[in-house]
Amino acid sequence: MGSIKFIAFDLDGTLLDTAKDFYLAVNKLRSNYNLEPCEFNEIRARVSEGAVSLAKYSLNLTNEEEIEFHRQELLKIYESCCLEKTAPFEGILELLEQINHTGLKWGIVTNKPKKFADKIINHFFSSYHPSCEISPEDTGERKPNPEGLLKACQIVGLEPKNSIYIGDHSIDIEAGKRANIKTVAAAYGYIPKGENCINWKADYIAESPQQIKEYIPLMK
């Protein structure tokens, strides 16, 4: 592997702590159907699995058509509250400042729908100048498909061997491996219940955003 010159991040559970806003949205959806609020930790553990998982859990759904209908309903609610309690994880903004100061490039590769990703990234990170932002709409594929990561490398003009990807779900690590990119499991993020990120076999594990720089030689 070559020296690291490009750092790609997942969004939810890696750069941003978005779980509280998803919790608001899920409980609003539940209240629409006269259900009691659910436990926060149940939502936090599902955020990185996406809106399908959240919708299924919210209303205890199994039918695919119902899941899709309520997924759209949940996302409409989420759109109205997605900036209320979301915030960068502690140490993320300092890490991005250090990346920029070192002259490295960084970007975001997420499974979050583009209209939400654009809104949130512009709000929190526009002044930190990401070199790229890749959502499923940009490639027609979702992680663990590696196309998003490969497109990000193409945009910044660097090879996968000169890149590293940080994410908090096994699909992030799988996508990175399939793209021949070094991977970091964000153990501080939204690890699904019953899983241990050690088993994902990432190249590295970061217990905090600050630890990420230990795996990037130019930032040591």
Known catalytic residue at 12: yes
Q: Give the residue among 111, 122, 139, 144 at the shortest CA–CA distance from 11.
A: 111
Where residue 61 falls (left for φ over 0; alpha for ψ -120 to 50; beta otherwise) is: beta
DSSP string, 56-99: HHHHT---HHHHHHHHHHHHHHHHHHTTSS-EEPTTHHHHHHHH
Known catalytic residue at 138: no
* Active-site choice (10, 21, 168, 172): 10
Q: Give the residue among 99, 18, 215 at the shortest CA–CA distance from 107.
A: 99
Catalytic site positions: 10, 12
